[in-house]
Amino acid sequence: NKEYTISVLPGDGIGPEIMLQAYKILDIINKNCMIKINIHQYDIGGIALDKYGTALPQKTLDGCKKSDAILFGSVGGPKWSSLPANIQPERGGLLPLRKFFNFFINIRPAKLYKILGYLSPLKNEIVKNGIDIICVRELIGGIYFGSPKGRKKINSKNFYAFDTETYSTYEIERIATIAFQLASKRKNIVCSIDKANVLESSILWREVVTHVSKKFPNIKLTHLYIDNAIMQIIKKPNTFDVLLCSNLFGDILSDECAILTGSIGMLPSASLNDTLFGLYEPSGGSAPELTGKNIANPIAQILSLAMLFRYSLKLNDISNLIELAVLKTLKDGYRTFDITDNENYITTDMMGTKISKKL
């Protein structure tokens, strides 16, 4: 019986509720799969701020360090949004965690199952073949972390504030390589996003991506400016396979792709470093307006767990089983509030139970 340790960080908002459903899955796996998953739960985000005065307590970091993977819920909410930005759950918790573990790879699949086609805000003729795009986003560089970053006083009433978008050859090379590798297991198409008609960092981005592509002769590489990409993805989502993006452009485009599926409550994501140690979290946020109502969709959290088994634990079989259980539950017609097309829906809790039973 192989043993693994997972750090579970439910966080704020709907995080704890949907995490409970992932626990049900972990339970079944522990009982039936001849492996042992040890679970350690830690605080992060707003709840950690409340308890310890910091969104990322040392104890949480230490726990994560000792584990094989991190399962993350979500952080943030109105309660903490008037605090200074740099201590808020996002900038004080999530961003430093990404940086600390060198999670430069962010993988965000946007998949629209054909049986859920009605969910997409796009016309049926555009999405009749579903949507299946993966956004590969650089996660610890660019304008999120570039220095200098700050503000200066011009006089008593006037300031100027600044952020630095910056990329090095090395940073671009390593994320581009990931995107090409991923595409080679899919449809062999990479579209790299930049604003090379305006930004110096984008000119370098385009050069380096083009250079890396030479090592992947089977992959078709195209480049789009971010403004044009925003339009093309809406017009023809299923001409895209893998999107390769900087941190900021990936933040924007992955959310665009997500909303086009109409089912953001079902989308998982993975943040990885070069050892494939990773953090797995739903693509949607903490959704304060859904919190405590037992209506949030737990599928994003459960599929994040499936990604964890695939990428960090290398247990593809278990990963496939979880994904299949989700699909079967959907095929049986079970829907949470956010994905139903009629009046019938089941609770967060019931959806978790249904999926774990299928498993």
Ligand X SMILES: CC(C)[C@H](C(=O)O)[C@@H](O)C(=O)O
Residues assigned a catalytic role: 144, 195, 227, 251, 255
Residue 237 marked ligand-binding: no
Q: Kindly write down the DSSP assignment for every residue of 297-309, as one continuous string.
A: --HHHHHHHHHHH
Task: List residues near ligand X by CB under 6 A.
Answer: 90, 94-95, 197-198, 227, 251
Residue 85 marked ligand-binding: yes
Considering only residues 144-163, where is the footprint of a second copy by CB under 8 A?
A: 144, 146, 149-151, 154, 157-163
The closest of 265, 11, 306, 259 to 135, measured between CA atoms, is 259
If one asks whether residue 228 binds a second copy (CB under 8 A), the answer comes out as yes
Specify the 3-state DSSP secondary structure of 41.
Answer: strand
Q: Which is nearer to ligand X, 39 or 252 (CB)?
A: 252
Considering only residues 253-272, where is the footprint of a second copy by CB under 8 A?
A: 254-256, 258-260, 264
Which residues lie below 8 Å from residue 238, measured CB to CB, with a gap of 6+?
Answer: 127, 129, 130, 131, 132
For 5-22, letters b (16+ CB in 10 Å) and e give ebbbbbbbbbbbbbbbbb
Considering only residues 286-315, where is the footprint of a second copy by CB under 8 A?
A: none
Contact partner at residue 143 from ligand X, a second copy, none, CB < 5 to 8 Å by partner kind = a second copy
Question: Interacting stretch for a second copy, rule CB under 8 A, among 4-12, 97-105, 199-207, 348-356?
Answer: 199-207
CB of 229 to a second copy, least distance (A): 9
Q: Can the peptide bond before residue 288 be classed as cis, meaning omega within 30 degrees of 0?
A: no
In this structure, the strands spanning 150-155 and 2-11 are unpaired
CB of 86 to ligand X, least distance (A): 12
Sign of CA dihedral 283, 288, 292, 296: negative
Cβ pair 309, 316 in contact under 8 A: yes
Q: Which is nearer to ligand X, 13 or 262 (CB)?
A: 13
Contact partner at residue 218 from a second copy, ligand X, none, CB < 5 to 8 Å by partner kind = none
Q: Compute the residue count for the chain.
A: 359
Q: Which is nearer to ligand X, 176 or 258 (CB)?
A: 258
Q: Which is nearer to a second copy, 153 or 185 (CB)?
A: 153
Q: Which is nearer to a second copy, 43 or 90 (CB)?
A: 90
Q: Provide the token pair at 227.
A: 């403004």
Residue 83 marked ligand-binding: yes
Residue 91 marked ligand-binding: no
Residue window 59-78: x/- pattern of binding to a second copy, with contact defined by CB under 8 A? -----------------x--
Residue window 107-126: x/- pattern of binding to a second copy, with contact defined by CB under 8 A? -------------xxxxx-x
| Burial of residue 281, with CB atoms counted within 10 A of its CB: 0-12 exposed, 13-18 middle, 19 or more buried | buried
Phi, psi of 219 (to 5 degrees): -95, 135
Q: Provide the token pair at 285.
A: 């946020």
CB of 38 to ligand X, least distance (A): 27
Strand ranges in 199-336 using DSSP code E only, listed in sequence order: 220-225, 242-245, 268-272, 278-282
The closest of 85, 78, 90 to 44, measured between CA atoms, is 90
Rounded Cα distance, 33 and 36, in Å: 8
Report DSSP state, residue 336: B
The size of the interface with a second copy (CB under 8 A), counted in residues, is 60
Q: Which is nearer to a second copy, 158 or 342 (CB)?
A: 158
If one asks whether residue 8 binds a second copy (CB under 8 A), the answer comes out as no
Residue 158 marked ligand-binding: no
Q: Contacting a second copy (CB under 8 A), which of 35, 230, 276, 350?
A: 230
Provide the binding-site residues for a second copy, judged by CB under 8 A. 76, 85, 88, 90-91, 95, 120-124, 126, 143-144, 146, 149-151, 154, 157-170, 195-201, 203-205, 226-228, 230-231, 234-235, 248, 251-252, 254-256, 258-260, 264
